[in-house]
Amino acid sequence: MTDRSPAQLKRAKLIINILSIVIPLAVAVLFKVEIKGVDTSFLPPIYAGINGLTAILLIAAVMAIKKGNQVLHETLMRFAMVCSLLFLLMYVAYHMTSDSTEYGGDGPMKSVYYFVLISHIVLSVAVVPLVLYSYLRAWIGNFPAHKKLVKYAFPIWLYVAVTGVVVYLMISPYYS
């Protein structure tokens, strides 16, 4: 296990707990902010692409660690975290400057869309502490605990990344 002082660990856990609360609250609050006159209509396909890239990075990272390539795994996971942060920033920027787009379909596809959207949103909130605590456990070298938590974090993060693309593809015909 990597030597980290108790103060470093306590500070890291505090930061993770704060981020796990602040990120979803900030996104919710920023959705109420309206900035007019800024065209960010180009962002949705970009942040959907970033979600797709995140999914690819997550799968590649799992493949790397299964092959014993810890350095590549760490690099891919850091890149996936950066992609998720970029997604979040672009997503918030878009929604602060654009009206929400209503899903225009009907019938069973409308139910599918809302199921995918709601599960995506709920799990995107849950994945923040899972990913950050997984990262912390690896950072301190507690790989058994890291592996145990990743059993939950990985499939949820992958689901959020993939459903981000699905939501975009389903709503994109209705963008004005």
pTM, two decimals, is: 0.92
Cα(121)–Cα(160) distance, integer angstroms:
8
Which pLDDT tens digit goes with each residue over 66-119?
Answer: 999 999 999 999 999 999 999 999 999 999 999 888 999 999 999 999 999 999
Q: Which domains does the chain have, with CATH numbers?
A: 42-174 (1.20.120.80)
Q: How confident is the model at residue 1 (pLDDT cuts 50, 70, 90)?
A: low
Cα(86)–Cα(74) distance, integer angstroms:
18
The arithmetic mean of pLDDT across residues 15-27, rounded, is: 95
Cα(74)–Cα(176) distance, integer angstroms:
40
DSSP H helices in the chain: 6-30, 43-66, 70-97, 108-139, 143-171
Residues contacting residue 78 through CB under 8 Å, at least 6 positions apart: none
